[in-house]
Amino acid sequence: MKEKFEFNPFAGVLEEDLGKILVPIFNIDAISYQIEHADSLAIEFIGKQGRGKTTHLRYLQKQFNKYPIFLLNTTNANISEMMTHEADVVFVDSIHHLSIADRIQLFRSKRVVIYTTHWSRKYACVLTNKKHYSIPFKGITVATLRSVIDKRLQLASRNKIVIDDLFTEKELKSLIRKFKDNYRGIINHLYEQYQ
């Protein structure tokens, strides 16, 4: 099978290829409209790790290059850069790295904040009188998983190939039984198998 592919199809994707492998779980156009026109809004991508929150956030931000994205982690969670940025819309990955006070300050000063989180930040929105819209990243279907896998296989293929059901329905169901809706767990497992 390996000769069909240029690289491991289940490796992390390049920034430029995000749109090619994404299977959107929400209407991108509707969200985009809200981002551009809402007066005060917080959009929350909520779910456990490996469900696709960050991939969706990064993809959505690529549609709005004028608005910045801040990828926070334990060593990089400084709010000052966000506050000094002139944009009134910000994308924030892993907002839990900010303190409650910083989150409130951020929600007060920016018109729209789109962020990923494991736990709802609804109360920060209530305190800042910000409209709150939550998108849960939960659940998986065989059809979605097939689409996710097929797009990756297509991207890694040497030529434009027809992905002739490399994975049977039984195999996909077995992956879902083992990893539930943890897409990254499934993709990492397939990476290991391929490698």
Partner 1 sequence: MSKAVLEKEIVIEESTDNYEVSGYLSITSSETIDVDVIGGMVYLEARGRMASKKREFMSFRISNRKTLQANVPYKIPFSFTLNDVEIGTYKGKNVDIAYRCEARIHVEDDDIGKVDRSFFSKVKSFVTSDDSLKTSAYFYVEDTTSTYKIEETTRTLDFKTNLMMSIIIAILFAGIYLFLIPEYNVGYIALGLIVLLLILIVTKMYMKNALGDVTIETLQDEDAFLCTIKKTKNFNLANQYLYYRIIEKVVDDRGTSSTTYRSTLYTSEKKKLVNHRDYAQLKFTYPTSRNWHSNELGIGGVEIYWEMHLVGTSYLGFVLKYTTGFFVAQRR
Q: Which amino acid is at 16?
A: E
Q: What string marks each residue from 175 to 194 as x (binds partner 1 by CB under 8 A) or -? A: ---------x---x--x---
Using CB under 8 A as the binding rule, whether residue 6 contacts partner 1 is answered as: yes
The yes or no reply on residue 134 touching partner 1 (CB under 8 A) is: no
* Alpha carbon distance 53, 145 (integer Å): 16
**Minimum CB–partner distance for residue 129 and partner 1 (Å):** 26
Least spacing, CB of residue 76 vs partner 1, in Å: 10
Q: Which residue in the set 23, 87, 135, 155 belongs to the binding site for partner 1 (CB under 8 A)?
A: 155
Q: Which window, 26-34, 98-106, 110-118, 124-132, contacts partner 1 (CB under 8 A)?
A: 110-118
Q: Locate tokens 């709802």: which residue?
A: 120
3-class DSSP assignment, residue 173: helix
**Three-class SS state of 100:** helix
> What is the helix (H) or strand (E) element at residue 131, kind and residue range?
strand 131-136
Cβ–Cβ < 8 Å for 183, 49 = no
What does DSSP assign to residue 180?
T
Using the rule CB under 8 A, is 49 a contact of partner 1? yes
**Can residue 7 be called a binding residue for partner 1 (CB under 8 A)?**
yes
d(CA 149, CA 172): 10
Which H, E and C letters describe 112-124, residue by residue?
Answer: EEEEEECCCCHHH
- Give whichever of 86 and 164 is closer to partner 1, judged by the CB atom: 164
Region of 23-31, 113-121, 125-133, 164-172 interacting with partner 1 (CB under 8 A): 113-121
Closest CB to partner 1 among residues 74, 129: 74
132 and 42 in contact (C-beta within 8 Å)? Answer: yes
Which spans of this chain sit near partner 1 (rule: CB under 8 A)? 6-8, 11-16, 20-21, 49-50, 53-55, 71, 73, 93-94, 96, 116-118, 151, 154-155, 157, 159-160, 184, 188, 191, 195
